Amino acid sequence: MEPVKFDPKFEPFGQPPDNTERIARLERQVLRERMARIEAEAIAEKGLRDLYESKQRISLLQKITDIANKSNEVHTSLVSALAEICCTLGYDFGNAYLIEGAQQSACACEAWFAEDETDLALLVAASGNASFDRGKGLPGTVLETGRMVWTRDLDSIPGCTRAQQADACGMTSACAFPVRVETEIVAVLEFFARKPIVESPELTWAMQQIGTQLGRVVERQRAWALLQTARHDVLTGLPNRAILAERSAAAFAALPPDGKGLAMVVLDLNGFKAVNDRYGHHYGDQLLTLVATRLGRAVISWQENRIATVKTLLARTGGDEFVVMLQGLVDWPNLASLAEAIHECLSPPFRIGDQSVAVGASVGMATSDDGHDSYDRLLRDADLAMYEAKRLGASRTVSFTPELGLSVRRARELKQEVREAVAKKQFELYYQPIFSLDAEHTLCGFEALLRWNHPTRGVLGPDEFIDCAQDAGLMTALGTWVLRQACETIARMPPLAAARTPPFVSVNVAPEQFLQPNFADIVRGMVMETAISPSRLKIEITENVAIIDAQAAAEVLRTIRAFGVQASLDDFGTGYSSLSYLHNLPLDSLKIDKSFVASIHEPKSVNIIRAIVDLARDIDLVVIAEGIETKHQAQVLAGFGCKQGQGFLFGKPRPEWNVFGLTAA
Amino acid sequence: MKGIVFNLLEEVVTADLGADAWFELVEASAVSGVYTSVGSYPDEDLYKLVEVASQGLGLSPDEILRDFGRKAMPLLAARYGALFSGHEHSRSFILSVNDIIHPEVRKLYSGAACPHFHFQQGANGRLMVGYRSPRNLCQLAHGFVHGAADHFGNEVEITHDLCMKDGDPICRMALEWSR
């Protein structure tokens, strides 16, 4: 080894240098320090980023596990999982396939999620019911290799049929991974993204876990299907649908010419889904067993006390649905007493572990006559009566009548009409003004209210169709439309003379819409697209969102409010009105329900309004009163400290042109 | 404001005008001058630095921000090469900025409000970029877009359709690539 030689200009070693050299040294030292800082920053940033990403993956996995725990239904679970994955990882489109034909093909099952349906219409259309043979396309490749597939070049995938559509929608990369039950692939999830999807061992691990979790749902649904083919329900020990069908068919065949002598009582539990969602399906299963036992006892005791000659059969025909078949002549009063016995036996709360839960039932009944051509028809009549009972509220009984049959048919037609109304642009927003209750009476904003310009029935309010829209699964689509319209209205609103600051528009948002995983993104997108000031949009929710998922609701509110959008709690005082909701939900205002305003002459209402206003003041919420019809009401409310109000006194809801016309500056 | 923006500003100023210029700028602006990429610092500091630079160089603050943004892009590319390497065109790179920014901000401050760019595809391949920037940082974004186009060898024309400085509710740039 060469001996170390010092550069002669530094000798003697350790001597203080002259000033020029000292400055040069310091500059070199500063440079080294800077490089060290940058290196330290890079190390810290990598650590923080890894930590962030791993937290994000774990939270996604937690959400998927929750979805898998709550549901026994594969389709619903797949749709929720696709939405969560896309929203967390920033993928634009997710689609699910079920594996069919002895592992030979992957068929799309109408379970998909698109960040923006209109932009991705081409790809959605090409994927929604696509099917791929083993080895073909993304799903077929996963099926063939059993591994996750990543690509930046769809053309490189053998048998790919959608490269063109994906490209037209701006997708630059895609991935797909299997959902497994043990080693068998039962489904494939695929994702497309505009941004490059970067393959990493961590992400692969997360996708594997997701596949395993979703596989559990498939496994449960299979087990359930197997039970259905057995003759007895393993869980409750009751006869199942197959036995009911067999016995009913035999009983029906033996009916006399007048068709009388067979009755069906259908009952469906209320609140069972909530118990399942809250405590998990194991808990739900225990509850069903207890319910079955009580029902069995109730039916036997009714039979012994009332008509011993009638033969009865209690069957479990679905998740939380039971049927009592009665063979022999039973009159309506006797049937009514059976329904009564059923409601009564379910009314004491059920104890499971250390929890106490209450469930009720909706009961529908039908008796045979010469108008029935099969037992199945009779069962459908009873079913229909049960749905009517459910619509009327908890623990109700409804007997089938021909009039009921007719009105249900009408409701079905209405549902179809609501579906078409969206496409035919028959919906319109009306706007009701909200004024300040102080002496100046300035215009603060408007509440957007949905109206349906029905081609034959005139202008309809939401009361007349919102249940239908809900049944038809249209609430989210309709809600998105409403939000967009309201934003566009804000964008074109001229300056209004009665307003001191640009008025807000409040939009009612249904819980299912509000709790979509990308609701905050949708709101932000609409504000940006219509280029409005976010503070002019106010989202109105009811306490129901907090009842369904308080934590998620608070998170959505925080996000939209951080962006500048306002939030208000509607109908306060009518529901649970729990103080904890008010405390935990970040809000700007709350609305006192019109029922309190209408009864403002009653001391009880006055006290409630006072309490609400005081409470709201303490936590900095503006109180808005609804349904103000008289000056007196407005004065009293203002006296209590209520800041804003709406109602016929200030103006009815009007179409947009009318609002602008009257109040333009 | 993320510390990296100040670090980049220091590098750009030093490269263009020498190390003494940054020293003078920091002292004249009466800001702390202590910025690391893993920290966040008051927006006010950036405005002060830009204001003083604008006086010293005889350029408007908008010009300073645009120039800085454009020149910062190659430095960003040198420091965070991985963020650029997955892209072949500045358009796809620009479309990915939310994915870059969000983890960067959130990893330090979970739940912090993030700047968010809203993209809309316009006619003829135009890209509309919406942004809520009450303090006129859309000019910095303008410079970044130019810098990104330079990096990928593209040419882009930028027009500001809406600007919060002019009283519009949001800022919105329209980007049109000719290459």
Which pLDDT does position A243 carry in this prediction?
Answer: 87
CATH code for the domain of A125: 3.30.450.40
Closest CA to B57 of B35, B34, B28, B32: B28
pLDDT in tens, A18-65: 888 888 889 889 889 988 988 898 888 888 888 888 888 999 999 999
Are residue A290 and residue A209 in the same domain, yes or no? Answer: no
Domain membership flag for residue A23: yes
Are residue A214 and residue A296 in the same domain, yes or no? Answer: no
| Mean pLDDT lowest among A82-86, A369-373, B154-158 | A369-373
- By CA distance, what is A91's nearest residue in B? B99
CATH code for the domain of A330: 3.30.70.270
Contacts with B107 from chain A: Cβ below 8 Å:
45, 48-49, 51-52
Tell how far CA A121 is from the center of its chain.
Answer: 22
Are residue A545 and residue A483 in the same domain, yes or no? Answer: yes
| Chain B residues in contact with chain A using a Cβ-Cβ cutoff of 8 Å | 19, 36-38, 79, 86-87, 92, 95-96, 98-99, 103-104, 106-108, 111, 113, 116, 118, 120-121, 130, 132, 162, 168-170, 172
B129, B117 Cβ separation under 8 angstroms: yes
Helix, strand, coil tally for chain A in percent (to 5): 50, 20, 30
Q: Which of A169, A202, A229 is where one domain is finished?
A: A229
Which pLDDT does position A337 carry in this prediction?
Answer: 93
In single-letter form, the type of residue at position B33 comes to G
Considering only CA atoms, give the Rg of chain A. 32
Q: Is the pLDDT of residue A160 over 90?
A: no
**d(CA A568, nearest CA chain B) in Å:** 20
Angle A19-70/A74-89 helices, nearest 10 degrees? Answer: 170
Contacts with A44 from chain B: Cβ below 8 Å:
38
Which pLDDT does position A200 carry in this prediction?
Answer: 87
- By CA distance, what is A193's nearest residue in B? B96
**d(CA B134, nearest CA chain A) in Å:** 11
pTM tops 0.90: no
Q: Do B121 and A119 touch (CB under 8 A)?
A: yes
Domain that holds residue A12: 1-229
Q: For a pLDDT cut of 70, what percent of chain A falls above it? A: 95
Rounded to whole angstroms, the Cα distance separating A113 from A83 reads 6
Q: Do A194 and B92 touch (CB under 8 A)?
A: yes
Residues facing residue A568 across a β-bridge: A540, A589
Rounded to whole angstroms, the Cα distance separating A459 from A430 reads 11
What integer is the mean pLDDT of A348-367?
89
ipTM exceeds 0.85, yes or no = no
Which pLDDT does position A49 carry in this prediction?
Answer: 82
Reduced to 3 states, what is the DSSP secondary structure of residue B67?
helix
| DSSP classification of residue A174 | E
Are residue A616 and residue A569 in the same domain, yes or no? Answer: yes
Q: Do A195 and B96 touch (CB under 8 A)?
A: yes
Task: Write the DSSP string, A254-275.
Answer: T--TT--SEEEEEEEEESHHHH
Reduced to 3 states, what is the DSSP secondary structure of residue A641?
coil
Reduced to 3 states, what is the DSSP secondary structure of residue B177?
strand
A 174-203: CB under 8 A from B: 194-196, 198
Residue from B2, B36, B119, B161 whose CB has the most chain A CBs within 10 Å, to mutate: B36
Which pLDDT does position A268 carry in this prediction?
Answer: 93
Which pLDDT does position A664 carry in this prediction?
Answer: 43
Contacts with B170 from chain A: Cβ below 8 Å:
527-528, 531-533
Which pLDDT does position A646 carry in this prediction?
Answer: 95
Are residue A274 and residue A152 in the same domain, yes or no? Answer: no
Domain membership flag for residue A407: no
| DSSP classification of residue A120 | T
Which pLDDT does position A541 carry in this prediction?
Answer: 94
Are residue A630 and residue A652 in the same domain, yes or no? Answer: yes
CB-nearest partner of A528 from B86, B96, B130: B130
Closest CA to A508 of A453, A464, A444, A446: A446
What integer is the mean pLDDT of B88-110?
78
For the purposes of burial, counting CB atoms within 10 Å of the CB of B149, is it exposed (0-12), middle (13-18) or buried (19 or more)? buried
| CA geometry: angle A190, A196, A199, nearest 5 deg | 70
A125, A135 Cβ separation under 8 angstroms: no
A 24-63: CB under 8 A from B: 27, 37-38, 41-42, 44-45, 48-49, 51-53, 56
Domain membership flag for residue A408: no
Helix, strand, coil tally for chain B in percent (to 5): 55, 15, 30
What integer is the mean pLDDT of A147-156?
87
Q: Is the pLDDT of residue A7 over 70?
A: no
| Mean pLDDT lowest among A238-242, A399-403, A505-509 | A238-242
Please report which helix (H) or strand (E) contains residue B66, including its range: helix B61-79
Q: Please report which confidence band the pLDDT of residue A665 belongs to, taking 50, 70 and 90 as the band edges.
A: very low
Rounded to whole angstroms, the Cα distance separating B150 from B89 reads 10
Domain ranges across chain B: 89-179
Rounded to whole angstroms, the Cα distance separating A144 from A138 reads 10
Domain membership flag for residue A412: no
Read off the tokens for A194: 């505009």
Which tops the pLDDT comparison, A614 or A538?
Answer: A538
The strand order across the sheet containing A93-100 reads A131-133, A105-114, A93-100, A184-193, A173-181, A149-151
pLDDT in tens, A109-138: 888 998 877 778 888 888 877 899 888 899
Are residue A269 and residue A349 in the same domain, yes or no? Answer: yes
Are residue A215 and residue A238 in the same domain, yes or no? Answer: no
Q: Please report which confidence band the pLDDT of residue B43 belongs to, taking 50, 70 and 90 as the band edges.
A: confident
Rounded to whole angstroms, the Cα distance separating A440 from B8 reads 52
Which pLDDT does position A346 carry in this prediction?
Answer: 92
Task: Write the DSSP string, A177-201.
Answer: EEEEETTEEEEEEEEEESSPPPP-H
Are residue A495 and residue A625 in the same domain, yes or no? Answer: yes
What integer is the mean pLDDT of B120-139?
85
- The alpha-helical segments, DSSP class H, found in A95-162 are 121-127, 137-145
Reduced to 3 states, what is the DSSP secondary structure of residue B8?
helix
Torsion sign, CA atoms A287, A289, A292, A294 = negative
Which tops the pLDDT comparison, B80 or A207?
Answer: A207
Give how many domains chain A has, as a whole number: 3
Q: Please name the residue that has the structure tokens 């024309």.
A: B157
Residues facing residue A114 across a β-bridge: A93
Are residue A512 and residue A594 in the same domain, yes or no? Answer: yes
A266, A384 Cβ separation under 8 angstroms: no
Q: Do B38 and A45 touch (CB under 8 A)?
A: yes
As a three-state string, the secondary structure of A9-74 is HHCCCCCCCCHHHHHHHHHHHHHHHHHHHHHHHHHHHHHHHHHHHHHHHHHHHHHHHHHHHHCCCH
Q: Do B116 and A524 touch (CB under 8 A)?
A: yes
**d(CA A526, nearest CA chain B) in Å:** 10
Read off the tokens for A605: 């209402």
Q: Which of A348, A365, A400 is where one domain is finished?
A: A400
Are residue A559 and residue A482 in the same domain, yes or no? Answer: yes
Q: Is the pLDDT of residue A171 over 80?
A: yes
Task: Write the DSSP string, B129-153.
Answer: EEE--TT-THHHHHHHHHHHHHHHT
Rounded to whole angstroms, the Cα distance separating A96 from A77 reads 11
CB-nearest partner of B162 from A119, A527, A531: A531
Q: Do B170 and A48 touch (CB under 8 A)?
A: no
Domain membership flag for residue A322: yes
Q: Do B38 and A562 touch (CB under 8 A)?
A: no
A110, A129 Cβ separation under 8 angstroms: yes
A397, A336 Cβ separation under 8 angstroms: yes
**d(CA B83, nearest CA chain A) in Å:** 10
Q: Which of A229, A256, A281 is where one domain is finished?
A: A229
Read off the tokens for B108: 């330090």
pLDDT in tens, A275-313: 887 787 788 888 999 999 999 989 988 888 877 778 889
pLDDT in tens, A433-478: 999 999 888 999 999 999 999 988 899 999 888 888 887 778 888 8
Q: Is the pLDDT of residue A532 over 90?
A: yes
Read off the tokens for B41: 């610092």
CB-nearest partner of A194 from B79, B95, B111: B95
Q: Do A45 and B36 touch (CB under 8 A)?
A: no
- Residue B72 main-chain phi, psi, to 5 deg: -75, -25
Rounded to whole angstroms, the Cα distance separating A592 from A602 reads 15
Domain membership flag for residue A317: yes
Contacts with B87 from chain A: Cβ below 8 Å:
196
Rounded to whole angstroms, the Cα distance separating A449 from A441 reads 22
Q: What is the mean pLDDT of chain A?
A: 87
CB-nearest partner of B99 from A48, A52, A90: A90
Q: Do B92 and A49 touch (CB under 8 A)?
A: no
**d(CA B132, nearest CA chain A) in Å:** 8
Strands A262-270 vs A360-367: parallel, antiparallel or unpaired: antiparallel
Q: Which CATH architecture has domain B89-179?
A: Alpha-Beta Complex (3.90)
Q: Please name the residue that has the structure tokens 């009409």.
A: A417
Rounded to whole angstroms, the Cα distance separating A545 from A587 reads 13
Q: Is the pLDDT of residue A526 over 70?
A: yes
Read off the tokens for A325: 């078949």
Rounded to whole angstroms, the Cα distance separating A490 from A534 reads 10
pLDDT in tens, A469-523: 887 778 888 899 999 999 999 999 888 888 889 999 999 999 889 988 889 999 9
pLDDT in tens, B69-79: 999 999 999 98
Are residue A186 and residue A281 in the same domain, yes or no? Answer: no
Q: For a pLDDT cut of 90, what percent of chain B falls above it? A: 57
